[in-house]
Amino acid sequence: MIEKIEPFPKSEAELRTAFWGQLGKFPEGNKIKTCLQCGTCSGTCPVSYAMDITPRQVVALFRAGRIEDILHSRTIWICASCYSCTVRCPVGIRVTDTLYALKRIGMSRKIFPKQFQVHTLSKAFINNVYKYGRNHELGLVVRYLLKSDFVKSFTMMGFGLAMFRRGRLAILPRRIRRVNEVRAIIKRANELGEN
Amino acid sequence: MTDYAYYPGCSLEMAASPYDKSVREVFKALGINLHEIEDWNCCGATMYMSVNNTVAYSISARNLAIAQKMGMDVCAPCSSCYTILRKTNRYIDWDPIERERINQALSAANLTYDKPVDVRHPLDILVNEIGLDTIRAKIVNSLAGLKVAPYYGCQIVRPYGYFDDVDDPVTMDKLLQALGAEVTHFPGKVRCCGGMLMTTEEDIALKLNLGLLQAAIDNGAEMIATACPLCQMNLEAYQDKINRTFGRNFNIPIVYFTHLVGVALDVPPSKMGLDKLLVSPDKLLARAKEVRV
């Protein structure tokens, strides 16, 4: 006897549509369908031990219709983009790019893990690029720490001083000459693609 | 090719300025001209891709579009920039709709990117374009006896494995051996340093770097050669903290591979920013001076 299959709740259905859209945005995105659940991605991942759900479980949860749970996990923000999983996956799933796709969905819908600020670093980063055309390391780290871990910003001072003494830390950001070009490109690109 | 469009990237401007200086000096010594991409902008790194694909690839493509005007392939020393720029090329090649969009975005700055330029890493250029024979012929100081762990990190070989194997690359091994150095076995050669996790999730990153430093020492290395600004910074600047956290006693110099090429070619250390490193490699490198070829 075939059990009646309930449709996905509306929010999940919307996230799935968005996710499939994102999977179409990079080569071989649709290969996620061929996942064997072998766990090679989790095994090769240098940081999976610190994730609340492993990369293999990300695919399993997606299949189970629980994208929102994935977005609430720390996993996608812990990934350091080392691409080990991507080169080892026996069926050629681009796991790292798949996690990026999920990050974009979380970002655009503001669905994040609780008490976890990694995504604010991405925000600080893109503000930097818009303002200056380049990334200013100190500004980025300070802005991030002030938002996420105020105490740590003090413990980082010794480190910053050592780098500064050796001329490896700029106090002030420098703007590129034609930053207007970068801003115009960002504006136009933003109008073109929803994310 | 003797001329490249040079894309230093944001890190090489400050924290990794010793990398920038050594790449420029070594290429000059070998007769290769690097022409800095005029008014280049940030490639977007891994961050922009977490926010918006089209924007991420469009700002990255601005640099490639300027290189296209210069009519040269790009040389990008930062592993992250290297991967992002290569990824941009692949993406533009793969998706005609997105190619159109990116060009529309670029047109806001009167730029077009329709004749893709190749993006190369200096390690690839040194070994596969200039060649080990040419480099060997120019060696002044031998690095004989120097025990170096070759650390590739993630992004110069992954995900594309463009010029070497994704699991066991040997390009840097060959280069360092050609300089006379003893390349030690290094099981961590493509293991991740954590990258930006050092800022966001320090506990995780410290452990990763502890593993790398320990693996280097356990296999007899006196020094680690890197090819990426983040790897170098995590391994070098956090050694103190790793020592305090895990009760170790590491004091191992972390240089860029180009530093070792420069020392062999007799480029003055200060011109390569070797004096700006936190753990000084001077004593070890002084030995090379004694072994003139």
Structural domain spans, chain A = 10-109, 118-192
**pTM over 0.90, yes/no:** yes
Domain ranges across chain B: 3-120, 131-290
Residue B216 C-alpha, separation from nearest chain A C-alpha, in angstroms: 17
Confidence of residue B17 (pLDDT cuts 50, 70, 90): very high
Q: Quote the tokens at residue A175.
A: 């703007």
Is B3-120's fold the same as B131-290's?
A: no
Query: How would you classify the pairing of strands B74-75 and B182-183?
Result: unpaired
Distances in whole angstroms, Cα of residue A189 to Cα of each of A120, A184, A194:
22, 8, 9
Residue B159: cis peptide before it, omega within 30 degrees of 0: yes
Query: Which residue of chain B comes nearest to A134, CA vs CA?
Result: B42
Query: Which residue of chain B comes nearest to A181, CA vs CA?
Result: B109
Distance between CA atoms of residues B25 and B273, nearest Å:
10
Confidence of residue B175 (pLDDT cuts 50, 70, 90): very high
Q: Is the pLDDT of residue A2 over 70?
A: no
Residues from chain A that touch B208, judged by Cβ atoms under 8 A, are: 46-47
* pLDDT score at B293: 65
Q: Topology of B131-290 in CATH?
A: Rossmann fold (3.40.50)
Query: Which residue of chain B comes nearest to A162, CA vs CA?
Result: B278
Q: How many CB atoms are closer than 10 A to CB A68?
A: 17
Average pLDDT over residues B197-203: 90
Average pLDDT over residues A17-26: 94
Average pLDDT over residues A105-128: 86
CB contact under 8 A, B197 and A122: no
Q: Is the pLDDT of residue A162 over 90?
A: no
Q: Quote the tokens at residue A17.
A: 């549509």
CB contact under 8 A, B50 and A100: yes
Backbone CA torsion sign across A117, A119, A123, A129: positive
Distance between CA atoms of residues B139 and B22, nearest Å:
16
* Burial class of residue A39 in the structure, from the number of CB atoms within 10 Å of its CB (0-12 exposed, 13-18 middle, 19+ buried): middle
Q: What is the pLDDT of residues B110-158, one digit of tens each?
A: 999 999 999 999 999 999 999 999 999 999 999 999 999 999 999 999 9
Query: Which residue of chain A comes nearest to B198, CA vs CA?
Result: A80
Residue B154's Cα: distance from chain center in Å?
11
Confidence of residue B274 (pLDDT cuts 50, 70, 90): very high
Distance between CA atoms of residues A41 and A19, nearest Å:
20
A170 touches chain B (CB under 8 A): yes
Residues from chain A that touch B201, judged by Cβ atoms under 8 A, are: 50, 78, 118
Distance between CA atoms of residues A194 and B9, nearest Å:
27
A30 touches chain B (CB under 8 A): no
CB contact under 8 A, A87 and B204: no
DSSP string, B231-244: HHHHHHHTHHHHHH
Confidence of residue B290 (pLDDT cuts 50, 70, 90): confident
Nearest by CB to B106, which of A118, A134, A185? Answer: A185
A157 touches chain B (CB under 8 A): no
CB contact under 8 A, A47 and B194: yes
Q: Quote the tokens at residue A140.
A: 């980025």
Query: How would you classify the pairing of strands B74-75 and B33-36?
Result: unpaired
Residues from chain B that touch A83, judged by Cβ atoms under 8 A, are: 154-155, 158-159
Could you tell me if A164 and A171 are in contact, meaning their C-beta atoms sit under 8 angstroms apart? yes
Q: What is the pLDDT of residues A23-33, one digit of tens each?
A: 998 999 999 99
* pLDDT score at B159: 94
Identify any residues that bridge with B147 across adjacent strands, giving them in sequence order. Answer: B182
Judged by CB atoms within 8 Å, which residues 55-94 of A form the interface with B? 77-78, 80-84, 86-87, 94
Report which residue type is found at B202: E
Query: Which residue of chain A comes nearest to B13, CA vs CA?
Result: A168
- What percentage of residues in chain B have a pLDDT greater than 70? 99
Q: What is the pLDDT of residues A82-113, one digit of tens each?
A: 999 999 999 999 999 999 999 999 999 999 99
Confidence of residue A137 (pLDDT cuts 50, 70, 90): confident
CB contact under 8 A, B59 and A189: yes
Confidence of residue A194 (pLDDT cuts 50, 70, 90): low
Backbone CA torsion sign across B234, B238, B244, B247: positive
Half-sphere CA count of B21, side-chain side, radius 13 A: 21
Distance between CA atoms of residues B212 and B27, nearest Å:
29
Residues from chain A that touch B58, judged by Cβ atoms under 8 A, are: 185-186, 188-189
Q: Is the pLDDT of residue B287 over 90?
A: no
For the beta sheet containing B3-6, the strands, ordered from the edge strand earlier in sequence to the opposite edge, are B33-36, B3-6, B74-75, B119-120
Backbone CA torsion sign across A194, A143, B16, B31: positive
Q: Topology of A10-109 in CATH?
A: Fumarate Reductase Iron-sulfur Protein; Chain B, domain 2 (1.10.1060)
Distance between CA atoms of residues A146 and A37, nearest Å:
40
Range of lowest pLDDT (A8-17, B46-55, B76-85, B140-149): B46-55
Phi, psi of B183 (to 5 degrees): -85, 120
Query: Which residue of chain B comes nearest to A163, CA vs CA?
Result: B15
Residue B46: partners with Cβ closer than 8 Å, 6 or more residues away: A81, B80, B84, B195, B196
Range of lowest pLDDT (A29-43, A59-73, A161-175, B37-51): A161-175
Query: How would you classify the pairing of strands B3-6 and B74-75?
Result: parallel
Name the CATH code of domain B3-120 (choices 1.10.286.10, 1.10.1740.10, 1.20.1050.140, 1.10.730.10).
1.20.1050.140
Q: Please list, residue by residue across B154-187, b when 16 or more beta carbons sit within 10 angstroms of its beta carbon and e when fewer do.
A: bbbbbbbebbbebeebebbbebbbbbbbebbebe
* pLDDT score at B124: 98
Q: Quote the tokens at residue B76.
A: 């990008």
Range of lowest pLDDT (A22-36, A124-138, A173-187, B168-182): A124-138
* pLDDT score at B243: 97
